[in-house]
Amino acid sequence: MNLKRIAIFGSTGSIGTQALDVIRANPDLFEVEILTAHTNDELLIQQALEFKPNAVVIVDEKKYEKVKQALSSTLIKVFTGEQSLEEVADFETYDMMLAGIVGFAGLKPTLRAIKNKKAIALANKETLVVAGDIIMQKAVENRVPIIPVDSEHSAIFQCLVGEAKNRIEKIILTASGGPFRGKKPNFLLNVKRDHALQHPNWSMGAKITIDSATLMNKGLEMIEAKWLFNLKPEQVQVVIHPQSIIHSMVQFEDGSIKAQMGLPDMKLPIQYAMAFPQRIHNNFPRYDFKKVNTLSFEEPDLKTFRNLAIAIDALNKGGNLPCVMNAANEIAVWGFLRNRIGFLDMTDLIEKTMNHVPFIEKPTLDEYLESDAEARNYAASMVHL
């Protein structure tokens, strides 16, 4: 394999830092070309000095001088401002973008990379939730592979290797159930931020951890799966699997089910996406059937975890509804993390926003962007920012 030049968008996050761990362990396979961060200047500087990329972006303009100063003895180009994410996505000098920004902010730079015919290792599921049809169409037009990093989608992708001509009956997305599995609404009513941030199996960024606690994450993933694997909504099923050993499954038209398994460790799907189609050796801990010897499955509780029911509705109706839902959810999570609204209020906020923003059946990119803005404003007006 030639040395692959990677542009890590969101390098200071959970996915970004783990991608750098993979690169650090495989210097003969990967090289860092671009690093981007929102506000964490300290970590960005440290990463830049270690990996010596061609360019870095610190989105927060207040941090620009400090980053520039700290890297002044190097040849590393330093950019700032939201717009510069798209500017560096235009660079010729990288082979693959690792899309590790969280939320809607990841959409535009990823679209730019696709237009520039760069391979995408996609962690940022919100990009597909917001504008999955446009993203997948542009990827086909530009012959760009979109390789999922999300563990469930990586599992499905791995199960589909060698099955290009075979019909999928359905896919089964596994969900851990989050920290509140088995709880009822009267418990959730009083849940606080710090409790919701304790995920049983995965250590992740704050937004996805809250999404996992509300099961919105699984809803976003159903929509992500629909676009990635070109499925009908009814072909996407969710099953709760608390041990997080089976990362997801594909059922083919002969009834045969393939599963991809392993210990929960995001470095595995990150490494798989970056090295695809190759598998590379690592020393991550291995799953031992003698230690975790019970794998259990249950139905998701859609009455208690209404965010998942809402997301299934958005998946079925399509149009701009998933985009509106995503925007409202980002505001809701933001409000919850700052103790402005309660756990169950998040659902009400999302539902009200989905009822408020006019439905568009087949939105253009501009209409998606407008729907996002309108949903964000409306939801924010209810959080009293």
41 binds ligand NAD (CB under 6 A): no
The smaller minimum CB distance to Mg ion, of residues 144 and 225, is found at 225
Position among 100, 219, 242, 322 found at the interface with ligand NAD (CB under 6 A): 100
The smaller minimum CB distance to Mg ion, of residues 31 and 150, is found at 150
CA atoms within 13 A on the CB side of 331: 28
216 binds ligand NAD (CB under 6 A): no
Q: State whether residue 66 is helix, strand or coil.
A: helix
Q: Which does 235 bind (CB under 5 to 8 A by kind): ligand NAD, Mg ion, none?
A: none
Q: Please tell me the distance from the alpha carbon of residue 120 to that of residue 122, in angstroms, as a whole number.
A: 6
215 binds ligand NAD (CB under 6 A): no
> Least distance to ligand NAD from the beta carbon of 59, Å?
5
222 binds ligand NAD (CB under 6 A): no
Sign, Cα dihedral of 121, 126, 132, 135: negative
User: Two tokens at 237?
Assistant: 């099923």
363 binds ligand NAD (CB under 6 A): no
For residue 369, give every residue at least 6 positions away whose Cβ sits within 8 Å of its Cβ, in sequence order, or none: none
56 binds ligand NAD (CB under 6 A): no
41 binds Mg ion (CB under 5 A): no
User: Two tokens at 309?
Assistant: 């029911």
The smaller minimum CB distance to ligand NAD, of residues 101 and 314, is found at 101
> Do 201 and 128 contact (CB within 8 A), yes or no?
no
Q: How far apart are the first and last CA of the chain?
A: 50
- Binding window for Mg ion (CB under 5 A); candidates: 150-158, 262-270, 275-283, 371-379: 150-158
101 binds ligand NAD (CB under 6 A): yes
Closest CB to ligand NAD belongs to which residue? 13
- Binding window for ligand NAD (CB under 6 A); candidates: 37-45, 138-146, 189-197, 306-314: 37-45
- Binding window for Mg ion (CB under 5 A); candidates: 142-150, 163-171, 296-304, 326-334: 142-150
Position among 150, 224, 265, 372 found at the interface with Mg ion (CB under 5 A): 150
> Least distance to Mg ion from the beta carbon of 151, Å?
5
CA 7 to chain centre: 16
150 binds ligand NAD (CB under 6 A): yes
Q: Please tell me the distance from the alpha carbon of residue 73 to that of residue 77, in angstroms, as a whole number.
A: 11
> Least distance to ligand NAD from the beta carbon of 149, Å?
6
131 binds ligand NAD (CB under 6 A): no
Q: Rounded to 5, what percent of the chain is helix, strand, coil?
A: 45, 15, 40
Position among 5, 6, 7, 16 found at the interface with ligand NAD (CB under 6 A): 16
User: Two tokens at 2?
Assistant: 């030639």
125 binds ligand NAD (CB under 6 A): yes
- Residue ranges of alpha helices (H) inside the chain are 14-25, 41-51, 64-70, 83-89, 107-115, 125-141, 151-159, 185-188, 193-196, 206-214, 216-228, 267-275, 306-317, 321-337, 345-356, 365-383
Pairing of strands 77-80, 96-99: unpaired
**Closest listed residue to residue 316, CA positions, set 175, 228, 219, 212:** 219
Number of residues this chain uses to bind ligand NAD (CB under 6 A): 27
301 binds Mg ion (CB under 5 A): no
Number of residues this chain uses to bind Mg ion (CB under 5 A): 3
Map tokens 């045969």 to a residue. 256
The H or E element spanning position 247 is strand 246-252
The smaller minimum CB distance to ligand NAD, of residues 77 and 356, is found at 77
Q: Give me the residues that bind Mg ion (CB under 5 A), please.
A: 150-152
Q: Give me the residues that bind ligand NAD (CB under 6 A), please.
A: 10-16, 37-38, 40, 59, 100-102, 105, 123-126, 150, 202, 204-208, 266
